[in-house]
Amino acid sequence: MPMSGIDAIAVIGLGSMGLGIGLSILKASMPVSGFDPNTDALGKFAAAGGRSATDAADAARDSDIVVVVVVNAAQTETVLFGGGDREGAVHTMRRGGIVISSATMAPEDARRLGRRCAEAGLLYLDAPMSGGVARAANGELTVMASGTPDAFARAEPVLQAIAKTVYRLGDEPGIGASFKMVNQLLAGVHIAAACEAITFAKRLGLDLDKVFEVITASAGNSWMFENRIPHVLSGDYSPASAVDIFSKDLGIVADMGRSEKFPTPLAANALQLFLMTSAAGMGRDDDASVARMIAKMTGLDLPGMTPTT
């Protein structure tokens, strides 16, 4: 049944986070259309009761709310405004509707997209998210949002369905994006540090399962160590969050630091590790692959790796 005057919702981008978001909205008994170029993701979404669309404009047709969960600002812009002879979501959704933009991007990109949506008669919520695949599937994300009071009010039914915590950070797009970049600086550095630590433990000849047990009960633990190192221990690098995501995000941090004349040396070192991992052919693999890259450089064999000779 429609809730709070919301007759239709679209989720564009059904990747590891977007699919969980779409399913969480469906669980809240709201009608949802979805689009992703990945037909497997579309099939999973349709099997759960969502309407699979042929493109972004089709997904957004007559929608009151469009949630965009793609990789970056460029993809967000294409999804919303189209390109060439292809329509975007803003051309088919209802006037007065709201775009909830969740891609990690530079604050200036969020401000620019917010202005373009306003010119099209739409509200815009700058709403990057954090929490990972499991929390997305359980409707327990953290949302770092900024936008007008009207935008927050219009987005409320969806925010309730997908998030455990919603931070209202300001009235202008770009503030949410800035908060997310602070988060991504820390997340990227923590992943890199976790991967360095576990490969160092391997070099020392330690039992890696026991290292994980001890560290997660000690002061050196981090959310990223606890979340990512099980991927290393199982040798499973199926992408929950890909290496290239952090190459992009830490690149944005570097650009912002240069613009602000603010040094970010730890983030810069982490960025180089992600770039090295991508250059080694693992850009689309899970970001814990930084550990594999370090292991290859140092002649170590982690679980799931072909033994060196």
Residue 202 catalytic? no
Q: Residue type at 29?
A: S
* CA atoms within 13 A of residue 289's CA, in its CB half-sphere: 26
Strands 141-145 and 129-130: antiparallel
CA-based torsion, 91, 95, 97, 98: positive or negative: positive
- Residue of 27, 44, 164, 180 marked active site: 180
CA terminus-to-terminus distance, the chain? 62
Chain CA centroid to CA 117, Å: 21
What is the DSSP code string of 217-276?
TSTT--HHHHHHHHHHHHT----SSBHHHHHHHHHHHHHHHHHHT---HHHHHHHHHHHH
Q: Residue type at 115?
A: R
Please give the structure tokens belonging to residue 95. Answer: 């006037």
Which of 257, 25, 215 lies closest to 138 in space, CA to CA? Answer: 25
Which of 89, 64, 85 lies closest to 13 in space, CA to CA? Answer: 89
> What amino acid positions are annotated as catalytic residues?
180
